[in-house]
């Protein structure tokens, strides 16, 4: 009887230890938990994907760490709101085109390493011709944390279904400069175009039509619960994002 009791207690102890170990494993790395994320192509099937960081046409010039497949992920809540945006712009003759959504922390770390390497200017002519690379941290073009890593931020533009081309926004995604600001050449609060406002170091400008195109995207995103960023016309974050303080680490791949 004593021997049976001993082995019973031993089994219970081992089982408890195993459960505790599994619980610790789950709790130890919640940043790897993608259970509340969805694949954007499933959640918003009408969206066009051009995942820039999976390819080489981006400001670094190489595939970015953590992008294992050319797909986009978002939290379920953000994806639901983006589906409403998609329906909105489709009624206006457009489709959403996605450049980036959830971004793992190791991708952000890749950006930081690249920015610290002053000799790597492979893509300068395409994305930051007016800037010395040494100011990228100072001017917050590159930061050690990104809202994208919280899972409810998306970078996007509009695709014109009548012309079968991207809508002309007067500037490229990930351009480092004031030309990317929503208030460049206009007032985004009133949708008023004001022309060249002296922000561009190279005296660049955008047309009234290009500014209006930016506003079409902006207003659709705002109508469905997203908030803009003051420095990038293409960047929006869900106002009531579910993980405002969590920076996830799982890779970008089909869920």
Contact present, 72 and 251 (Cβ < 8 Å):
no
Alpha helical stretches, state H, the chain: 2-28, 40-43, 76-90, 105-116, 124-127, 208-223
Is 232 an annotated catalytic residue? yes
Query: In angstroms, rounded to a whole number, what is the distance separating the alpha carbons of residues 169 and 89?
Result: 15
Query: In angstroms, rounded to a whole number, what is the distance separating the alpha carbons of residues 210 and 196?
Result: 13
Given 189, 192, 209, 232, the catalytic residue: 232
Contacts of residue 101, Cβ cutoff 8 Å, sequence gap at least 6: 40, 72, 73, 74, 148, 153, 154, 155
**CA gyration radius for the chain?**
22
Query: In angstroms, rounded to a whole number, what is the distance separating the alpha carbons of residues 96 and 48?
Result: 6
SS3 assignment, position 98? strand
* Furthest-apart CA atoms within the chain: distance in Å: 91
Q: Which residues are catalytic?
A: 232
């Amino acid at each position: 009887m004593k021997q049976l009791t001993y082995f019973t207690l031993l089994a219970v102890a081992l089982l408890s230890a195993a459960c505790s170990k599994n619980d610790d494993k789950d709790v130890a790395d919640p940043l790897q938990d993608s259970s509340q994320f969805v694949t954007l192509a499933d959640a918003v099937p009408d969206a066009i994907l051009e995942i820039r960081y999976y390819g080489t046409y981006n400001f670094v010039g190489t595939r970015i760490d953590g992008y294992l497949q050319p797909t986009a992920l978002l939290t379920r809540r953000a994806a639901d709101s983006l589906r409403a945006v998609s329906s909105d712009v489709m009624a206006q003759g457009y489709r959403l085109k996605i450049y980036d959504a959830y971004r793992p922390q190791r991708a952000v770390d890749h950006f930081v390493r690249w920015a610290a390497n002053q000799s790597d200017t492979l893509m300068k002519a395409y994305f930051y011709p007016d800037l010395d690379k040494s100011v990228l941290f100072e001017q917050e073009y590159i930061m050690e944390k990104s809202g994208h890593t919280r899972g409810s931020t998306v970078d996007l533009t509009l695709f014109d279904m009548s012309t079968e081309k991207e809508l002309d926004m007067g500037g490229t995604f990930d351009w480092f400069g004031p030309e990317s600001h929503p208030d460049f050449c206009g007032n985004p609060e009133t949708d008023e175009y004001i022309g060249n406002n002296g922000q561009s170091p190279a005296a660049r400008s955008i047309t009234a039509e290009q500014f209006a195109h930016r506003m079409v995207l902006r207003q659709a995103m705002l109508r469905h619960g997203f908030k803009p960023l003051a420095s990038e016309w293409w960047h929006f974050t869900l106002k009531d994002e579910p993980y405002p303080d969590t920076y996830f680490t799982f890779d970008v791949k089909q869920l």
